[in-house]
Amino acid sequence: MSTIANTPNVLEDQHILYYNDYSVCSLMVRASIALCNGYTDKCLNIDEQPVNIHLGDQNSEYFLCEVNPKGTVPVLTLPNNIRGRNITDSIDITAYFGKYYPCLYPMEFSNEIGSLLGELHAINFFSLTYTHKPQRASDMENAVEKRLSDPNISARYRKALQFKRDIIHNTRTPALTVSVIKDEESKATSFLSKLTELLEHTSNGSSNTSQWIFGSLEPTALDAHTIPFLARLFDVGREDMVSERLKTYACRAFKTKAWIDMMGGRKTVFSAYL
Ligand SMILES: N[C@@H](CCC(=O)N[C@@H](CS)C(=O)NCC(=O)O)C(=O)O
């Protein structure tokens, strides 16, 4: 896997998508394109660059100082190297893709999609994923501390690493306490029950055979973000949180060529934390 050490060569109209195969938010944005390919004739030039977040590539000087100070993936850079305009959040990246893939936000559902995506991303995925793997948080802290212990790093890099360390302290380590995990589970349950209702509404008493949440012919942004989330819940043994209706929905989605090609048989969680 590549290390993010140097400024990549970028074509004029090219976007770069920094991602990781085991990052649920990266899978959400990649699914936004993968599921919708074939439903657009517009072309989006994207160079997909893997970032090995388990080896710490997101903590490199280049990544923290030039790509994303939060040291997270996914990140989308815009064409012509517009500095300081990288998109560093998966909801915003999918919204940007919506200009090229209108099926992601059909007009009649776009408000509901926005509000449900907000609800999904208010869930701390870290709490649900690493519930029984607290070493993930300490591994992250140690990786940053190790880089900070090098006396020869530049002042800007030291500052960036200290900022990243604060993020880990504030958002990762506390996410694994019993009470926070409980809160995140109940947020997830509430989100999932809304999806079950929507799917029941779509399939009940109508001849609609669409496989997607809103019964549309094409997948929306809500499908693109929900499918990786469900895959993640299954991978960490949380299938008991998922209704039968949602399981049927997920199984159908996992059989699409787009999903199979994107996942290449991988789980959504890095093997060391399974
Ligand atoms: N709100 C962000 C969250 C991004 C995020 O937390 N990414 C995780 C992977 S899913 C990451 O990069 N973790 C590595 C790290 O924090 O060092 C989004 O939706 O894109």
Please state the pTM of the whole predicted model. Answer: 0.95
Q: Closest Cα to atom 11, ligand 1: which residue?
A: 72
Measure 98 CA to ligand 1 centroid, in angstroms.
21
Residues with CB under 6 A from ligand 1: 23-25, 53, 58, 71-74, 89-90, 121, 140
| CATH code of the region 15-129+176-273 | 1.20.1050.130
Domain residue ranges in the chain: 15-129+176-273
Measure 57 CA to ligand 1 centroid, in angstroms.
13
CB 18 within 8 A of CB 57: no
**What single DSSP character describes residue 87?**
B
Q: Closest Cα to atom 13, ligand 1: which residue?
A: 72
The upper half-sphere exposure of residue 22, i.e. CA atoms within 13 Å in the direction of its Cβ, equals 17
What pLDDT, on the 0 to 100 scale, is given for residue 14?
A: 87
> pLDDT digit string (tens) for 29-42?
999 999 998 787 77
Residues 6+ apart with CB under 8 A from 146: none
Residue 127's nearest CA partner among 173, 176, 90, 85 is 176
In the predicted structure, residue 19 carries a pLDDT above the cut 90 = yes
Neighbours of 262 (CB within 10 A): 18
Give the mean pLDDT of 87-104. Answer: 95
